[in-house]
Structure formats: C-alpha cells, structure tokens
Amino acid sequence: MIINAIVFGFLYGFLLCFTFGPAFFRLIQTSIDIGFRRGVLIAGGVTAADAILMFFAVFGTSFLPKFQYFNVTIALVGASILFILGFNSLFKQQTQLVYPKSKFGSFLYYFTSGILLNLLNPSNYIAVFTTSTYLTSVEGFSLNETIIFFIASLCATMLAESLIAFYAQKMKKVLTPKILRRINQVAGIIFIISGLLILWKQFL
C-alpha cells in the first residue's frame, strides 16, 4: 500500500498541474514574461498552498478560522485578485509593471502570488478534501499512507510546474511580441472567467 500511495500520489500531483486553472496560466505568463526563476517561485507558492490545504484535509478543519461569512470573504478576495490579474493581462501594453528588484522582494512577490492563487480558489479546497475523503473511505488508506500520498503529490506538483516554467521560458525565444500579447490576453480572460465562476458558485 505504501508503494501504491507513492505512485498514485505522484500521478495525482502531476495531473493536478494540468487542470488549467488561474495558477497554471499565471505560471506560464510569468515564466514567459519574466523568466524561469520567477516561474519557479510561483510554482513553490502553489506547492506551499497545496501543502496547507492537504494538512487541513488530513488532520481536520479544527484549525481553520471560524467566523461569520468566512466563505464569502474568501470568495470575494479570491475573485478580486483574479479580476485585477485578468484586466491587467488583458489590457496592458508592452510596458511592463514595475516588479520588485531586491531578491527578498522578488521572492515574496512571486511566491505569495502562487500561494494566493491556490488558497483563494475554492475549487482547490473541493479537490483536496474530496481526495482525502476518497482515500480513507473508499481506498482504505491509513493516516500514514494518506500523508505519504500527499507528500508524493507535492513532489510531483513542484517538479511538473518547474518543468512547465522551464519550457515556457524557452519558448520565449520563438514567440513574437504579437503572440506574447495573445498569450497575455488569453491568460487575462481565463483569470476573469475564474473570478466570475468563484462568485457564481458562492452566490448563485
């Protein structure tokens, strides 16, 4: 069962990277526009957010903040961030935003972007908590096996997203400014649609 947990956890984490959510397109967009290292920072933030969600999925939700309108707040903040990213990507010209220049500022900016894009997307909560329930209730995984499954999935997620960042950055050499503009527009539309979906699921 331990081997199964490792293998299936790795496959789960790898496939989870290709669900084409806002974090996926933000990773590609940043890797093309700014470079591989910045893309890896976003990948690290996404992986860290997954680790947080998996922790609560395995050990319960007793540590989560309990206050009125918690879900509504998460939905509004998440949708707002996606709208900002979306409209910026959709309408920005060739001039770039002023990104942090210091190493710490750069790390904080991109790493935090990865974390927020994952934590503020309710779909990720559903995916992780549903998987945790399935592993224990249907597959009969023990606590240790479930932990191993999620650790393997985190390793796969970081590896897969780092590879995505690497090859996206390599593609920059053959992409024309017009194509880059189209990529940014597509990413912007996806960010906006994702924000609308979050609001729709929360309020309708």
Ordered mean pLDDT values, 10 residues apiece, the chain (204 residues): 89 78 81 86 93 88 59 74 78 50 72 87 77 82 92 95 87 70 78 80 74
pLDDT of residue 144: 92
Q: Considering the entire predicted model, what is its pTM?
A: 0.71
Give me the domain span that covers residue 52.
2-203
Number of domains into which the chain is organized: 1
Rg for the chain, CA atoms, rounded: 18
pLDDT of 144-197, one tens digit each?
999 999 999 999 999 999 998 898 877 777 666 677 677 778 877 877 887 788
- Provide the pLDDT for residue 134: 83
Helix boundaries (H) for the chain = 2-16, 22-33, 36-59, 70-91, 103-119, 122-137, 143-171, 177-203
Q: What is the pLDDT of residue 68?
A: 62
Nearest Cα to Cα of residue 118 among 15, 23, 18: 23
List Cβ<8 Å contacts ≥24 apart for 51-57. Answer: 51/150, 51/154, 52/115, 52/119, 53/118, 53/119, 53/124, 53/125, 53/128, 53/129, 54/128, 54/132, 54/150, 54/153, 54/154, 56/129, 57/128, 57/129, 57/131, 57/132, 57/150
CB atoms closer than 10 angstroms to residue 173: 6
- For residue 55, what pLDDT is reported? 92
| Per-residue pLDDT at 97 | 40
Tokens linked to 147: 């932990």
d(Cα 64, Cα 150) in Å, to the nearest integer?
19
Q: What DSSP state is assigned to residue 19?
A: S
